[in-house]
Structure 1
């Protein structure tokens, strides 16, 4: 899979459910986002966990997640 496929999606972690569940501080989250930005495997795992939490804990739809992913890759909020 090309790295460009998931590039930018690590920003979903900011203010996300995974941060709250793991009780990460702001500096820990920044470090993890930097790691996810540079390592595709870490990015896919972390963003995947965030997406599962959004689906099953917050009730987001697959359409909501798809739009959020597309918005992040385009640099929109």
Structure 2
């Protein structure tokens, strides 16, 4: 992987393997921060998949905040 590239799928796998939803959201938020300025359909799809898995917890403040941060990237790819 070149400098400046982000392995979102790896970050997503790390998020999925964490013990708590908070750890998963923290890991995914870090990956999201790294995606700023990256325009990759694969990365956006990984983000969409993660957001789908968060849906059962959509009323949690940390999940709402993550979705708020993810919205610009998801909207730009739509």
Interval containing the TM-score (normalised by the shorter chain): 0.3 to 0.5
Higher relative contact order (CA 8 A, sep 6+): 1
TM-score, with structure 1 as normaliser: 0.34
TM-score, with structure 2 as normaliser: 0.34
